[in-house]
Amino acid sequence: MTIADRRRFPRIRSLNLLSYVCLDEDDNPVQQGMGRTLDVSEGGILMETHTSIDTRYILFLSLGLGDNVADIKGRVVYSRKNQIGKVESGIEFEEETELQRQIVRKYLSAFKEYQKETK
């Protein structure tokens, strides 16, 4: 079985800026930065940053697409260096409330429309 076979949601390749804040177990900010999405799904994001993000942290992500910004909470599932020396981190969304699902679906829908417009 391949990794793609185990995924619950299809991935959409995307290159969009994001900002993040990492919180420790006491909800104290310990790291913040900027990065970009590599792919997005209803369940999570693969993002690229210049620095590694520890898997014990909870993240608050702000995803931008045009004039829209989506704020989403997630946790780091893994973090590893890629071939060009940047860090790829798999983020799984947390607090899967209906509101968060709506935000992510809206973001994915807006991204699909943006892709159509830029082709």
**What is the residue extent of each domain of the chain?**
3-112
The predicted pLDDT at position 65 comes to: 63
Mean predicted confidence (pLDDT) in 71-97: 88
Measured on CA atoms in the order 19, 22, 37, 69, is the torsion positive or negative?
negative
Quote the CA–CA distance of 41 and 54 in Å, as a whole number.
22
Number of H helices, E strands in the chain: 2, 7
Per CATH, the number for 3-112 is 2.40.10.220
pLDDT tens-digit series, residues 4-61: 445 566 677 777 889 999 999 898 999 999 999 998 887 888 999 999 998 888 999 9
Token pair belonging to 89: 């981190």
Per-residue pLDDT for 3 more than 60?
no
Name the more confident of 105 and 29: 29
